[in-house]
Amino acid sequence: MKPLNNFGVVLVICAVLMSAGCAKKSAVKDFDAANSNSESNARVKKGVKPEADPEVAVIETETYGRIVIELYSNIAPQMVGRFKQLIKDGFYNGTTFHRIDPETGIIQGGDPLSKDDNPLNDGSGDSSYPNVPGEFSDIDFSRGIVAAARRSASPAMDGQPEITEAQAMDTANCQFFITLKRQPEFDESYTVFGKVIEGINNADVIAGAPVADGSDRPADKVVIKSITLKPRSEFIK
C-alpha cells in the first residue's frame, strides 16, 4: 500500500493530502507518514542482532530479474510467518511492484489488487488473513531493508472510521517495501522483517522505471511472476 488507500504500508486518504500532490499517486498502505507516530517507541525491540532464517524468499519478476531476501524471524516472527504463509499460498504470484520512488529510494509491492486492470486501487488491498501487529526494532532502514507496509493515521471520512496512530501501528498485512538507500525517518516506525542479499541492483532498475504521468505508479506493470522459499545455503557460500 502506500506505506495504503483503504500501501498495503499505510492507508493514505489522498483527499486530505491533495495540496501535497497525492491525488495522482497510487493508493498505498504507506510509509508517507513515517516517524509521525510516537506510539511505536515503547514497543521497539532494542539491541537484538538479526539472525537469518534457513530459508530465503526468492522474488522472480517477469522482466527485471531476481531479488533474494533473507528473513528475520527473531526480529519479526509474526510478519515473517505471514510472509511465508502467503508465499506458500501462491498469494504474491502475479502481483506487481505498484509503487516506485527513485528519489525516496523505495519500491513497494504485494497488493492482490494490483493484479487487476484498475491502477487506482493499487496499494489498498489486503489478504484474507487478519492484520499483523507491529514488531518494531532498532534496525536501521539502510539499503536493502525489507519492511511491512501499513496504514497511517487518518480521520473519519467517506464512511470510513478514524484510524488513530496507535491503531495504525498494527495494520500490516501483506504488502511490503524495499529501501534502496538510508531512510532514517522510517526507523522504529515500520516492521523490518528481512534484507535483500541478492538482486538489489534489479530493485534499483525497478525504482527507475518510467512512471505514469504525475504518479509513482510504473507506466508498465512490474509483475512479480512468483515468490518462493528456498534454502539460504543456495545463495550464501
Q: What is the pLDDT of residue 27?
A: 35
> What share of the chain has pLDDT > 70, as a percent?
83
- Closest by Cα among 200, 222, 196, 173 to 57: 196
User: Who wins on pLDDT, 194 or 13?
Assistant: 194
Q: What is the pLDDT of residue 153?
A: 87
Residues in the chain: 237
Q: What is the pLDDT of residue 214?
A: 85
Q: How many domains, the chain?
A: 1
Q: What is the pLDDT of residue 38?
A: 56
The strand ranges marked E within the chain are 55-61, 66-71, 97-101, 106-109, 145-148, 176-179, 192-198, 224-231
Residue 144 belongs to a domain: yes
112 Cβ contact partners less than 8 Å away, ≥ 6 residues apart: 91, 95, 125, 126, 127, 174
Residue 10 belongs to a domain: no
Q: What is the pLDDT of residue 39?
A: 59
Residue 2 belongs to a domain: no
Res. 53: pLDDT tops 50: yes
Q: What is the CATH number of the domain that holds 200?
A: 2.40.100.10
> What share of the chain has pLDDT > 90, as a percent?
72
Query: Rounded CA gap, 181 and 183, in Å?
Result: 6
What is the greatest pairwise CA distance in the chain?
A: 54
Lookup result for grid cell 538507500: 181
Q: What is the pLDDT of residue 1?
A: 53
User: Who wins on pLDDT, 24 or 233?
Assistant: 233
Residue 24 belongs to a domain: yes
pLDDT digits (tens, 9 = 90+) for 142-192: 999 999 999 888 899 888 889 898 999 999 999 999 999 999 999 999 999
pLDDT digits (tens, 9 = 90+) for 190-204: 999 999 999 999 999
Q: Which of 19-23, 58-62, 161-165 has the lowest mean pLDDT?
A: 19-23
Residue 91 belongs to a domain: yes
Query: Rounded CA gap, 90 and 87, in Å?
Result: 5
* Residue 122 structural domain: 18-34+44-234
Residue 183 belongs to a domain: yes
Residue 149 belongs to a domain: yes
The model's confidence at residue 227, banded by pLDDT at 50, 70 and 90, is very high
